[in-house]
Amino acid sequence: MAREFKLPDIGEGLTEAEIVRWLVAVGEEVTADQPIVEVETDKAVVEIPSPYAGVVLSHGGAEGDVIEVGAVLVTIGEPGEEKAPASDGEAPGANPAAIPAVALDPKPIVGTLSEDAELLSPPAEATTAPAAIQALPVVRKLARENGIDLETITGTGPGGRITRADVEAAIAGGDETPPATTTQEHAAHVEPHAVREIAVGAGHGISDEDMVPEEAHAVTRGDQRRPLSRLRRTIAANMAKSWSEIPHVTTFENVDATRLLEVRRALGDRHGVKIPIEAMVIKAVLPALEEFPEFNASLEGDELILHGARDIGIAVDTPEGLIVAVIKNAEQRGMLELAFEVRRLGEGGRERSLTPAELTGQTFTVSNIGAVGGGHGTPIVPHGTVAILSVGMAREQPIVYDDDLAIAPVMPLSLSYDHRVIDGAVGRRFTALILENLEEPALFLAG
């Protein structure tokens, strides 16, 4: 008997998801727990397994379609059976919400202070994906939207993977014939709801009455109208909410990173692994969070919730935008385990393979803008937390040692916090303790 499998809630507050890629075509057989489709939520791209074995009778949508939680995702039945799905729910013992765990080997990510960015080695492609083509779902989507055949592109990424840059080069170079629609024609055919979605995603409220006809806006030759991706719309909404609701204060410091980098190299040499600077910074921050628990908190109405666990978020730069992956119970992990988690979450974030649970729930955030050459900045506090620490790139600068001038690697720190919760004096004391720990790693490694 044919059965309907409906889109489950695979994350906190999930209401809809976009179909990225079908892994099993209509008419093909599928086994129970076999990945059947890739969907993109607000933050992650995840594979959803089939709760049933049988033959795929129909898909609930095409690639690129957005479907709501509870809508029919796929219909599965017996060979030769017509689509006549029963509505009595799942088979006994089925777990339609189960999402397979993503197994990742530790691999290096960008995030060092004194070295160039490191290349990522991609995880093995799913057995149901085309063997000849290696490309992330977001890259496949970009190619599909621009009429690019991935089979005609030679990948320049690790292991021959086709990167976003490869597809963009094909688009610019005319390797494939893009849609013949000109920019002006495309703009004229954009539906009003699409324009409204772009504006709302950027944090602007626009009603139907506010809509201006497309022809009223000048579109010059070469301009492009590009809808925001689902992830970018989520980022925009979160940033706007944080900036509008949290009164930010940012304090700046410079760290003499001489000892920090020496210890980092020594640990790496001893254990044969590269230690991401984020792992060192997290380890140095944990004692400060213990001494100043108001930095590891959430403000809810008139109450401040001091979190017992220290779930540290790390900012990850992905092709689609910045996301925050979360190291759960960081206070219970040693240096090598923290290093492993930073590498694993960094790669998983870039591959969009992390689970919703790994992308939510941080109580404090560390952002390493030094990985892309950044210095001081004014990081925005993630909503639901009260503080974020930004770490810049260490550069050789003149400093004073006991009245003598010397050259040393100086690492910029920028701490933003919620001024409703934390006063300036407390912010300075918290920063001073982190500064002390980073300049002498023995203070936090001994703990």
Under a CB-based contact definition with an 8 Å cutoff, are residues 6 and 39 in contact?
Answer: no
Among the listed residues 161, 189, 194, the one whose alpha carbon sits nearest the alpha carbon of residue 66: 194
The 10 Å Cβ neighbour count of residue 298 is 16
Q: What is the CA radius of gyration of the chain?
A: 25
| Beta carbons of 229 and 407 less than 8 angstroms apart | no
Active site residue 189: no
Could you give the CA distance from residue 62 to residue 72 in angstroms, rounded to a whole number?
Answer: 12
DSSP 417: E
Tokens 């990948």 sit on residue: 155
Q: Are 356 and 41 in contact (CB under 8 A)?
A: yes
Number of H helices, E strands in the chain: 10, 17
Q: Please state, in angstroms and rounded to a whole number, the distance separating the CA atoms of residues 437 and 286.
A: 10
Exactly one of 186, 248, 376, 419 is catalytic; name it. 419
> Strand ranges (DSSP E) for 23-163?
29-30, 35-40, 45-49, 54-59, 66-68, 72-77
CB 441 within 8 A of CB 284: yes
Q: Please, are residues 444 and 287 in contact by the beta-carbon 8 Å criterion?
A: yes
Cα 395-401-406 angle, rounded to 5 deg:
45
Q: What residues have CB less than 8 Å from 320, skipping those under 6 apart?
A: 138, 229, 231, 232, 352
Phi, psi of 260 (to 5 degrees): -60, -45
Tokens 């760290």 -> residue: 255
Q: Are 338 and 327 in contact (CB under 8 A)?
A: yes
Q: Measured between alpha carbons, how far is 43 from 32 in angstroms, rounded to an integer?
A: 26
The set of catalytic residues is 419
